[in-house]
Amino acid sequence: MSNGQTTSRYTIERLQSIDRRIIFVFIAAAVIIPLLLGASLKEETTPIVRALFDYVDHLPEGSRVLLSFDYGPTTAPEIQPMVDAVLRQCIERKCKLYMMAVWATGHNLVGQTIEEILKSEYPQLQYGQDYVNLGYKAGSQGLIRLLVVDFKRMYSTDAAGTAIDSIPMMQNIGNLKNFDLIFSFGGGFPGIKEWILYAGDPGHIPIGGGCTAVSAPLLYPYYPSQLVGLMGGAKGAAEYENALIQAYPKFSNMPMAGMSLMMSQTVSHIVIMFFVVLGNVLYFIGRNRNASTKPGGEK
Amino acid sequence: MKRTVPLLITLVVGAALIIADFVPHRPFGTLGDDFSLYFDIIAVFAFILGGGNLVRVHIMKLSKKRKDWPFSIVTLAGFFIMLAAGLLKIGNPDDIKGDVAALGSLFSDLYISIFTPLQASMFALLAFFVGSASYRAFRAKNKEATILLVSAFLILLGRTPLGLWLTEGIPDSISFLELPNLANWILDVPNLAGQRAIMIGIALGVISMSLRVILGVERTYLGQDND
Amino acid sequence: MLRSLLTVCAVAQAVLLMLCPAALCQSDNHDIADSVSDHSTAAMSLPASVTGVIAADSRGDAGGSITVTWKKSSDDGEGANSVIGYTVFRSENPDTGFVSVGSSSAGMTEFEDATTDDGVTYFYYVATLSDAGSSPSPVSPGTRSSAQWFNSRDVDTFVIGLIICLAVIYFIFHARKGRKLFLRKIAGLEAVDEAIGRATEMGRPILFIPGIMDMDDVQTVAGITILGRIARTVASYDTKINMPVSRSIVMTTARETIKQAYVEAGRPDAYSDDMVHYLTDEQFGYVAAVDGIMVREKPATCFYLGAFYAESLIMAETGNSIGAIQIAGTAQPAQLPFFVAACDYTLIGEELFAASAYLSGEPKQLGSLKGQDVGKMIAMAAILIGCALFTLASITGLQSLLDLATAFKSHFSAS
Contacts C26 to A, Cβ<8 Å: 224-225
**Per-residue pLDDT tens digits for B88-129:** 988 888 888 777 778 788 998 998 899 889 988 888 888 899
Largest CA distance in chain B: 75
The CA distance from A283 to the nearest CA of chain B, in Å, is 7
Compute the C-alpha angle A288/A293/A298, nearest 5°: 70
Inside any domain, residue B189: yes
Q: Cβ contacts (< 8 Å) between A54 and chain C: which residues? A: 30, 33
H, E, C per residue of chain C: CHHHHHHHHHHHHHHHHHCCHHHHCCCCCHHHHHHCCCHHHCCCCCCCCCEEEEEEECCCCECCCEEEEEECCCCCCCCCCCEEEEEEEEECCCCCCCEEEEEEECCCCEEEECCCCCCCCEEEEEEEEECCEEEECCCCCCECCCECCCCHHHHHHHHHHHHHHHHHHHHHHCCCCCCCCCCCCCHHHHCHHHHHHHHHHHCCCEEEEEECCCCCCHHHHHHHHHHHHHHHHHHHHCCCEEEEECCHHHHHHHHHHHHHHHHHCCCHHHCCHHHEEECCCCHHHHHHHHHHHHHHHCCCEEEEEEECCCHHHHHHHHHHHCCCEEEEEECCHHHHHHHHHHCCEEEECHHHHHHHHHHHCCHHHHHHHHHHHHHHHHHHHHHHHHHHHHHHHHHHCCHHHHHHHHHHHHCCCCC
C168 inside domain: no
Q: What is the mean pLDDT of residues A1-25?
A: 75
Neighbour-count burial for A202-220, b at 16+ CB within 10 Å, e otherwise: bbebbbbbbbbbbbbbbbb
In order, the DSSP letters of B110-176 are: HIIIIIHHHHHHHHHHHHHHHHHHHHHH----SHHHHHHHHHHHHHHHHTSHHHHHHTTTS-GGGGG
Q: How many structural domains compose chain C?
A: 2
Which of chain A's residues have a Cβ under 8 Å away from the Cβ of C30? 51, 54, 224
Q: Which residues from A are below 8 Å from C157, CB to CB?
A: none
- Residues of C with CB below 8 A from B214's CB? 5, 8
Q: Residue A5: its pLDDT value, please?
A: 65
Q: What is the pLDDT of residue C415?
A: 47
Q: What is the pLDDT of residue C41?
A: 42
Q: Do C272 and C142 have their domain in common?
A: no
List Cβ neighbours of B18 (8 Å cut-off, separation of 6 or more).
Answer: C5, C8, C9
How confident is the model at residue A27, as a pLDDT?
93
- Name the neighbours of A, counting chains with at least 3 Cβ pairs within 8 A: B, C
| Final residue in a domain of this structure, among C346, C361, C376 | C361
β-sheet bridge partners, residue A232: A211
In a domain, C390, yes or no: no
Which residues of C have a CB under 8 Å from any CB of A?
3, 7, 10, 13-14, 17-18, 20, 23, 26-30, 32-33, 36, 62, 84-85, 100-106, 112-115, 129, 213, 283-284, 307, 309-310, 321, 332-334, 413-415
Name the residue range of residue B146's domain.
138-214
CA distance A224 to chain C (A): 6
C-alpha to C-alpha distance for A164 and B132, rounded to whole angstroms: 50
Residues C329 and C271 in one domain: yes
> What is the spatial distance between Cα A100 and Cα A117, in angstroms, rounded to a whole number?
16
Q: Is residue C387 part of a domain?
A: no
Same domain, C194 and C275: yes
Interface test with A, best of B139, B165, B196 (most A CBs within 10 A): B139
Task: Supply the CATH number for residue C59's domain.
Answer: 2.60.40.10
The length of chain C, given as a count of residues: 415
pLDDT at A3: 63
Domain that holds residue C350: 180-361
Chain B residue numbers with beta carbons less than 8 Å from the beta carbon of A145 are 32-33, 36
Number of structural domains (chain B) is 1
Do residues C303 and C190 share a domain?
yes
Q: Do B123 and A74 touch (CB under 8 A)?
A: yes
Confidence band for B36, pLDDT divided at 50, 70 and 90: confident
Q: Assess whether pLDDT exceeds 70 at residue B73.
A: yes
Query: Within an 8 Å CB–CB cutoff, is residue C349 touching chain B?
Result: yes
Question: How many beta-carbon pairs under 8 angstroms link A with B?
Answer: 147
Does some domain include residue B61? no
Contacts of C296 in chain B (CB under 8 A): 67-68
Residue B28, domain member (yes or no) = no
Asked if the structure places residue B188 within a domain, the reply is yes
CATH of the domain at C233: 3.40.50
Q: For residue A77, count other CB atoms closer than 10 A to its CB.
A: 17
C60 shares a domain with C185: no
Average pLDDT, chain A: 87
C112–A60 C-beta distance less than 8 A: no
pLDDT of residue B34: 81
- Judging by DSSP bridges, how do beta strands C241-245 and C301-307 pair with one another? unpaired
Q: Which of A62, A72, A174 sits opposite C115 (nearest CB)?
A: A174
Among chain A residues, the shortest Cα distance to B197 is held by: A221
Does C157 map to a domain?
no
Nearest to C350 among B46, B204, B215 (CB): B204
Specify if C231 maps to a domain. Answer: yes
* Structural contact between residues C218 and B209, judged by C-beta atoms closer than 8 angstroms: yes
pLDDT score at B101: 75
* Chain Cα centroid distance, residue A35: 19
pLDDT tens string C159-196: 999 999 999 998 888 876 666 777 788 888 889 999 99
Q: Which residues contact C40 (CB under 8 A, 6 or more apart)?
A: none
B154 domain-assigned: yes
Does residue C127 sit in the same domain as residue C187?
A: no
Residue B44 lies inside a defined structural domain of this protein: no
The predicted pLDDT at position C44 comes to 64
Tell me if C22 is assigned to some domain.
no
Could you tell me which chains touch chain B, where touching means 3 or more CB pairs under 8 A? Answer: A, C
Q: Within a domain: residue C370? A: no
Instruction: Locate the chain B residue with the closest alpha carbon to C219.
Output: B206
Residues of B in contact with A154 (CB under 8 A): none
Give a yes or no: residue C88 inside a domain: yes
The predicted structure's pLDDT at residue C12: 41
Residue A144 in contact with residue A177, Cβ under 8 Å? no
pLDDT band at B223, cuts 50/70/90? low
Residue A17 has pLDDT above 80, yes or no: no
CB C222 within 8 A of CB B202: no
- Cβ proximity of B76 and B55 under 8 Å: yes
Nearest to A279 among B112, B138, B195 (CB): B138
Whether A187 contacts chain C with CB within 8 A: yes
Distance CA A2, CA A8 (A): 10
What does the alpha-carbon distance between residue C7 and residue B205 come to, in Å, rounded to a whole number?
Answer: 13
What is the structure's pLDDT at C22? 35
Instruction: Determine contact: C59 vs chain B, CB below 8 A.
Output: no
Q: What is the CA radius of gyration of chain C?
A: 29
Per-residue pLDDT at B82: 92
Do residue C57 and residue C126 come from a single domain? yes
Residue range B74-83: mean pLDDT, rounded: 94
Give the mutation candidate from B42, B105, B136, B176 for the A interface (greatest A CB count, under 10 A): B136
On chain A, the residues whose CB falls within 8 A of the CB of B122 are: 74
Q: Which of C326, C344, C361 is the last residue of a domain?
A: C361
Task: Single out the residue of C191, C211, C184, C213 nearest to residue C346, CA to CA.
Answer: C191
Cross-chain residue pair B207–C372, CB shorter than 8 Å: yes
Does the distance separating the beta carbons of C317 and B133 come in below 8 Å? Answer: yes
Say if residue C53 is in the same domain as residue C188. Answer: no
Q: What number is the average pLDDT over the span A82-99?
A: 95
Residue B164: the pLDDT is: 78
Low-confidence ranges of chain C (pLDDT < 70): 1-44, 176-179, 414-415
Amino acid identity of residue C98, one-letter, is F
Determine whether the interchain pair C105/A75 forms a contact, defined as Cβ–Cβ distance below 8 Å: no
